[in-house]
Amino acid sequence: MPLKPRIEAAIANAIRMGQAGSAPPRLASALDYAVSPGGARIRPTICLSVAMACGDGKPAVADAAATAIELIHCASLVHDDMPCFDNADVRRGKPSVHRAYGEPLALLAGDSLIIMAFEVLARAAAQDPARAIDLIRILGESSGMPGGICAGQGWESESKIDLRAYHRAKTGALFTAATRMGAAAAGEEPDAWTELGARIGEAFQVADDLRDALYDEATLGKPAHQDEINGRPNAVSELGVRGAIRRLEDILSGAISSIPSCPGEAMLCDMVRKTAERLTPVLPAHHHA
Amino acid sequence: MPLKPRIEAAIANAIRMGQAGSAPPRLASALDYAVSPGGARIRPTICLSVAMACGDGKPAVADAAATAIELIHCASLVHDDMPCFDNADVRRGKPSVHRAYGEPLALLAGDSLIIMAFEVLARAAAQDPARAIDLIRILGESSGMPGGICAGQGWESESKIDLRAYHRAKTGALFTAATRMGAAAAGEEPDAWTELGARIGEAFQVADDLRDALYDEATLGKPAHQDEINGRPNAVSELGVRGAIRRLEDILSGAISSIPSCPGEAMLCDMVRKTAERLTPVLPAHHHA
């Protein structure tokens, strides 16, 4: 099965299980709303690509890993969009969850998606308990405190920010989770895969900084210039547009050379190059900006 | 070790691990603030009591179960206190987390505590992977959608409320989690323990309704008359004060007779009776109110 429909089917299946039985209907509907439309599904794509490069011996476990990462990512978007953070009215080109369903259901939808991510992994224990536990451990580390995306977001409430810890946790953690969990789902030692995830995460952060600085809300599908407005660190303000683009290219070559030797090495290099293309073609038009 | 210090030590240990390394300091501090002071720790006490009644063969697994339940409970209090829900300024006799740390850190502290609960259980896999997976599955069911405490809270955003599903999920789910996880942590089949948890949960709900209706903020350590203010269903408005007290006594006898045969049966009956005493002596002074 090609990656995209495989990912969408796994996510839809998880959401359906959260909507079963006597679920409150509006919250059930908000769960679905929060994870769609899918877009690039970049983290689960990376996760499944790594699992496939490692042989993908237990595809149901890899599907669970990919789904869990995306659910956590969607949960973080729902909570980050809320008025006390970015106060974003728009996400994925439609009203953000709290605009569509109200703040109480947005808060609960985020909480429910976080819990659902761990439930999806616990169900994968039917295929392989040891791998399920490894995946739960990695997902926890990457999501919570002291070093996951909650920690990353938490740095924004500090008066003195540890920039390295901030970027590593805020954006990097779910990308390293993606490569590590892809490897762990296929029964490989995850540590060898941390660097690939970290580099893709850095590239993504720089690309996001470029988009935030250069694009408007209509193009982004979400409010623009948020870093500037909120006084957050941004690669464009540090390096300029050209410097940030050079940085992006360097990071992606580093990502490719970090790929551990595995059956699907060539395919993975291709995936990283495609990720790079998806990130960079948006830039030339604004290259001189 | 007596229950209370055993529970506090296990919770403190989990929080410390979430504050380690390069954690953002204010969020790290908010985690600790959100789980203290301990109070009765009623859910972990029930969980450990059941585990002990079943032999408590792997105490570290039981500690993990008790801690995970309390972390989820504390997370739900932090989120429920936020302005978009109860907008409570006071909790445990001190400012609620969002009043002390601001809304962004309250939201993140709740998220981090949810994730931490699953991490604590994943670590217990070192002692017993199969039990850890069972515990993760039960905690997920009891916390998220479609039937956990998120679902319970979600019912408050519906125009037509399914009262049975609402109470079962909102208050009942973490009490059934407590008895079920106590049994699972000790290697027993959890299903036989569901009814005990459900009945304790019902009793607790009725007692809470009585307190909410009869007490003031200073006595409660949190805002009073919230059910009335928010138009939420309440046993006192349905049955009157005397009726609600009779109901409470009936439920607790039912709880005692539901206890499965086990080595610590007598001790458990005693625990339920003590719970009943903790719930009922607060009533007589207001019995005629």
- Reported as a single tens digit per residue, the pLDDT across B88-118 is 999 999 999 999 999 999 999 999 999 999 9
Residues from chain B that touch A133, judged by Cβ atoms under 8 A, are: 122, 125, 129, 132-133
From B125's Cα to the closest Cα of chain A, the distance in A is: 7
Residues from chain B that touch A17, judged by Cβ atoms under 8 A, are: 146
From A86's Cα to the closest Cα of chain B, the distance in A is: 10
Return d(Cα A162, Cα A167) in angstroms, integer.
9
For the record, the structure tokens of B26 come out as 């204010």
Q: What percentage of residues in chain A have a pLDDT greater than 90? A: 69
- Residue A289: pLDDT above 50? no
- The predicted structure's pLDDT at residue A234: 81
- Containing H/E element for A95? strand A94-95
ipTM above 0.90, yes or no: yes
- Helix boundaries (H) for chain B: 3-18, 25-35, 42-53, 59-81, 97-101, 103-123, 129-143, 149-155, 163-167, 173-185, 194-214, 217-220, 226-229, 235-258, 265-279
> Is there a contact between A146 and B103 if contact means CB atoms under 8 Å apart?
no
Count CB neighbours of A45 within 10 A: 21
Q: Which residues, in sequence order, are bridge partners of residue B90?
A: B95
What Cα–Cα distance (Å) separates residue A122 from each residue in A58, A112, A128, A199? 15, 15, 10, 29
> Is there a contact between B28 and A104 if contact means CB atoms under 8 Å apart?
no
Closest CA to B256 of B235, B283, B276: B276
- Give me the total of CB pairs closer than 8 Å, taking one residue from chain A and one from chain B: 199
- Please answer whether residues B186 and B58 qualify as being in contact, where contact means their C-beta atoms are separated by less than 8 angstroms: yes
Give which of B97, B111, B156, B170 to mutate to test A binding, by max A Cβ within 10 Å: B111
- Please answer whether residues B145 and B151 qualify as being in contact, where contact means their C-beta atoms are separated by less than 8 angstroms: yes
Return d(Cα A258, Cα A51) in angstroms, integer.
16
Return d(Cα B29, Cα B8) in angstroms, integer.
17
User: How far is CA A225 from its chain centroid?
Assistant: 20
> Is there a contact between B107 and A85 if contact means CB atoms under 8 Å apart?
yes
Q: Which residues, in sequence order, are bridge partners of residue A91?
A: A94
Q: Where are the domains of chain A?
A: 3-286
Closest CA to B73 of B117, B8, B105: B117
Any idea what DSSP says for residue A261?
P
Return d(Cα B85, Cα A125) in angstroms, integer.
36
Closest CA to B183 of B148, B134, B114: B134
- Containing H/E element for B91? strand B90-91
> Is there a contact between B144 and A84 if contact means CB atoms under 8 Å apart?
no
Coil vs helix vs strand at A94: strand
- Please answer whether residues B175 and B200 qualify as being in contact, where contact means their C-beta atoms are separated by less than 8 angstroms: yes
From B263's Cα to the closest Cα of chain A, the distance in A is: 30
Return d(Cα B163, Cα B13) in angstroms, integer.
38
> Is there a contact between A157 and B102 if contact means CB atoms under 8 Å apart?
yes
Give which of B71, B87, B150 to mutate to test A binding, by max A Cβ within 10 Å: B150
- Average pLDDT of chain A, as a whole number: 91
> Is there a contact between B158 and A26 if contact means CB atoms under 8 Å apart?
yes
For residue A136, the chain B residue with the least C-alpha distance is: B122
- The predicted structure's pLDDT at residue A281: 45
- Please answer whether residues B139 and B132 qualify as being in contact, where contact means their C-beta atoms are separated by less than 8 angstroms: no
- The predicted structure's pLDDT at residue B288: 47
- Average pLDDT of chain B, as a whole number: 91
For residue B24, the chain A residue with the least C-alpha distance is: A155
Return d(Cα A283, Cα B6) in angstroms, integer.
57
Q: Please report where in the chains the tokens 């445990």 appear, as a residue.
A: B92
> Is there a contact between B104 and A157 if contact means CB atoms under 8 Å apart?
yes
CATH architecture of A3-286: Orthogonal Bundle (1.10)
Q: Please report where in the chains the tokens 């709303």 appear, as a residue.
A: A33
| Span A244-261, average pLDDT | 92
- Containing H/E element for B94? strand B94-95
Any idea what DSSP says for residue B148?
S
Name the residue with higher pLDDT: A283 or A174. Answer: A174
- The predicted structure's pLDDT at residue B161: 86
> Is there a contact between B147 and A22 if contact means CB atoms under 8 Å apart?
yes
> Is there a contact between B111 and A84 if contact means CB atoms under 8 Å apart?
no
> Is there a contact between A115 and B154 if contact means CB atoms under 8 Å apart?
no
Of the ranges A229-233, B93-97, B177-181, which one carries the lowest mean pLDDT score? A229-233
- The predicted structure's pLDDT at residue B286: 47
**Nearest-10 crossing angle of helices B103-123, B129-143:** 150
Report the amino acid identity of residue A67: T
- Please answer whether residues A185 and A46 qualify as being in contact, where contact means their C-beta atoms are separated by less than 8 angstroms: no
Closest CA to B233 of B255, B213, B248: B213
- The predicted structure's pLDDT at residue B284: 47
- Give, rounded to a whole angstrom, the gap between the first and last alpha carbons of chain A: 42
Count CB neighbours of B99 within 10 A: 18
